[in-house]
Amino acid sequence: MTNRSSPKFLALAVVFAAAGLTACGQKAAPPAPAPVAAPAPAKPAPLKAAFVYVGPVGDAGYTYAHDAGRKEAVAKLGDKVATTFVENIKEGPDAERVIRELATAGNKVIFATSFGFGDSMAKVAKDFPDVYFEHATGFRTSDNMRVYEPRIHEGAYLAGIVAGRMTKTNVLGFVGSFPIPEVLRNINAFTLGAQSVNPKIKTKVVWVGSWFDPPKETEAAKTLINGKADVLLQNTDSTAVLQEAERQHKYAFGWDSDMSSFAPKAHLGSCMLLWGVYYEKALNDVLGKTWKTGATKWGYREGMTDFVKIPDFVPADVKKKVEDAKAGLKAGTLDIFKGPITDSTGKVQLAKGLAADDKWLGGVTFYVKGVEGKVPASK
C-alpha cells in the first residue's frame, strides 16, 4: 500500500475521530439488554404499556430502578399486560418521535420517566385522547396525562442521619444534577438529616448539569473530597461518585438502586426508588377503568422509597436512629421539612411550627442553613 496521498490519510483519521466523538456523545453503552417480557396473549388481549427511559437500563441507578419496577409490575399482573421499553432517549425532539411512535403502535399507557420528557409528552397526549400518559417527576397534567413522583428526599434525610455521624471532618459533599426543586429538596433533606445528629455539619455542592455522566460525576466527587468532604451523596444516576469514594477511602451512598456491590467499603446505605408499586397501581387503574388524572406523591409510607443495606460497621445507635426515623415516616409523625427552616442567607423560609405542604415542597429554590454557596442562577 504505497502512494497514499496525505489528504486521504487525514480523511481516514478524521472519520475515525468523528466516529469516536459520536460514540462519546452517546455516553456509556448499556450492557446486556433485558429481554422484554411479552407474555403469550391470554383470552382478553393484554394491555399494551410502554416505558421511555432517559438512560440505559444498565445504568445501575435511576433507569435500572424504573426497569426493575416495570418487571415487578409485570410479575404481579402476569399476562394481563404486555410491556415494551425504549432506553437511552434524549430529552428533546427525539423523545416526541418515540412517544408518538409508541402511541401509534397501539400502547394504551405510556410512561415517560424523566422530567425533560414533559413537553414532548404533553404534545403527543393532545393527539391521542384515548391513550393514558404518565410522566415521572413532572408537573404538567391534562385529561389523559398525569404525573407521579417518589418522595426521595426521605431517603436523602435518612442518609443524612448516617452521614452526620460517620463524618470526621463535619463536611458533607453533594453531587447535584440540575438546580430544580426536586434536587434542592434532596440537598436540604440530606443536610437536615445530618444536622439532626450533628449540628456542626456543613454541606458542599457541585453541579454537573447532567443526570448521567460518569466522568463528570467522578470529577465532581474529586472536587468535593479535595474540599474536605468525607461523606458524599449524589443526585445523579450512575455509581461513579460511590466508586470514587471507595478509591479515596471516603464514604458515600447508593442512589435510586441498591449499589452496595459497587463499593463494599465506602457504601453506607442506598436510597431506593421502588417504582413497582406505582406501576402496578397505574396499570391496574387502566385495567379496572378507574384511571383519573392527578399527581401522585408517594414515599416510604406507601412503599415507593426506602433506605437499605446499612453496613455492619455503622454503630448500632446510628442504625437505631434511622429505624426510628423510618417508623416516624411510616406513622406520619416525622416531618422532614418542619419550621423553623432558615435558608443559607438567613431568611426564614418556613415559620416555626408549620409543616411543609406539597406546594411549599414544589417551590424549594434555596439551600438550607449549613449548605455552602449559592443556588446557581437563583434570583
Partner 1 sequence: MSLLSPVIAVVLTAVVGAALFAALGKDPLSALQVFFLEPFHGTRALTELALKSTPLILIALGLALCYRSNVWNIGAEGQFLMGAIGGGGLALWVTTEAIPMSPWAFFPLVIVAGALAGAAWAGVVALLRDRFNANEILTSLMLVYVANYFLSWLVFGPWKDPDGFNFPQTVSFASQTELPRVIRGMRLHWGSAVALLAAGGMWLFLFRTFAGIQLQVGGPAPAAARYAGFSSHAAIWTTLLTSGALAGVAGAFEVAGPMGQLTPHVSTGYGFTAIIVAFVGRLHPLGCILGSGVLSMFLIGGELAQSRIGLPSALSGVFQGVLLLSLLACDTLIHYRPRWSGTR
Site for partner 1 contains 178 (CB under 8 A) = yes
* Choice from 316, 331, 351, 377 touching partner 1 (CB under 8 A): 377
Instruction: List residues bridging with 295 in a β-sheet.
Output: 147
Residues 202-221 that bind partner 1 (CB under 8 A): 209
Which residues are CB-contacts of 131 (< 8 A; sequence separation ≥ 6)?
103, 107, 108, 109, 110, 125, 144
Q: How far is CA 98 from CA 124, 319, 325, 326, in A?
A: 10, 45, 42, 39
CB of 177 to partner 1, least distance (A): 10
The three cell numbers of residue 256 are 435510586
| Cβ pair 118, 96 in contact under 8 A | no
* Choice from 47, 180, 197, 295 touching partner 1 (CB under 8 A): 180
CB of 193 to partner 1, least distance (A): 23
Residues 107-126 that bind partner 1 (CB under 8 A): 115-116, 119
Residue 119 or 143 having the CB closest to partner 1? 119
First CA to last CA distance, the chain: 64
Residue 300 or 337 having the CB closest to partner 1? 337
CA-angle at 247, arms to 243 and 250, nearest 5°? 85
Q: Which helix (H) or strand (E) holds 188?
A: helix 181-195
Site for partner 1 contains 26 (CB under 8 A) = yes
Span interacting with partner 1, options 81-89, 192-200, 284-292, 310-318, rule CB under 8 A: 81-89
Q: How many CA atoms lie within 13 A of 235 on its CB side?
A: 28
Site for partner 1 contains 9 (CB under 8 A) = no
C-alpha–C-alpha distance, residues 105 and 111, integer Å: 14
The three cell numbers of residue 63 are 433507569
Span interacting with partner 1, options 39-47, 94-102, 307-315, 343-351, rule CB under 8 A: 94-102
C-alpha–C-alpha distance, residues 174 and 341, integer Å: 20
CA-angle at 195, arms to 194 and 198, nearest 5°? 90
Cα torsion angle, 378, 242, 305, 91, sign: positive
CB of 9 to partner 1, least distance (A): 11
CB of 43 to partner 1, least distance (A): 24
Residue 102 or 325 having the CB closest to partner 1? 102
* Choice from 7, 44, 129, 288 touching partner 1 (CB under 8 A): 7
Residue 162 or 183 having the CB closest to partner 1? 183
Count of residues engaged in binding partner 1, rule: CB under 8 A: 61
C-alpha–C-alpha distance, residues 296 and 141, integer Å: 11
Residue in 158, 148, 165 with CA at minimum distance from that of residue 189: 158
Site for partner 1 contains 40 (CB under 8 A) = no
Residues 355-374 that bind partner 1 (CB under 8 A): 362, 365
Residue 56 or 150 having the CB closest to partner 1? 56
Contact residues toward partner 1 (CB under 8 A) are 1, 5, 7, 10-12, 14-15, 17-19, 21-23, 25-26, 29-30, 32-33, 35-36, 38, 50, 56, 84-94, 96-98, 100-102, 104-105, 115-116, 119, 127, 139, 178-181, 184, 209, 362, 365, 375-378
